[in-house]
Structure 1
Amino acid sequence: MTLTSYPFTVQLGEGIDPAVAHYAHVAFARLPEAGAPTHLRIITDHDPANTHPIRARVLLPGHHSATALAENPRKAVDELVERLLASAGRS
């Protein structure tokens, strides 16, 4: 199975499961190539009071970025993909 024709860098913060990198590549493969990310960073806010401790930030072509906050890394990736797909549908 081809994951993507446009590989991108996935940077995971401390404590993030390495399998999330593969999950992100599969999820972002749904985007049109023109909207493909160049870099994805997923980190954890270690504040136990934070209900959405995961921050995912994706860099896109043209120096644009998008950020998602979620309760786990996969949900953060899914939120970014859905947001970018919706944005691509409007253009």
Structure 2
Amino acid sequence: MKMFNPPHPGEIVREECLAPLGLSVTSAAAALGVSRKALSELLNGHAGISPEMAIRLTKAFGGSPETWLGMQMHYDLWQVEQRAGAIQVARLAPPPAA
């Protein structure tokens, strides 16, 4: 089922993972083994969840890498679908059978 305007995964990390544990960006970044800047960019929606970050999030907070990556894919796809009408593509079809 498609989600209407899914939240950026960084918002989920902030609200569902960091906030309940009272973690600051600095302490969470250290625990994840990433820079404060890298985590901040994710939390603020300026970066997405990479496969490596999905593994880190799984190890730190649970879930599965597929779930984390799925959240990112749903967010990205919804964003692109909002401007799909502006994407110009020529329809291609196989040549007629001889």
TM-score (norm 2): 0.26
Asked which structure has the greater CA Rg, the reply is 2
TM-score (norm 1): 0.27
| Structure with greater proportional helix content | 2
| Structure with greater proportional strand content | 1
> Which one scores higher on RCO, CA 8 angstroms, separation ≥ 6?
2
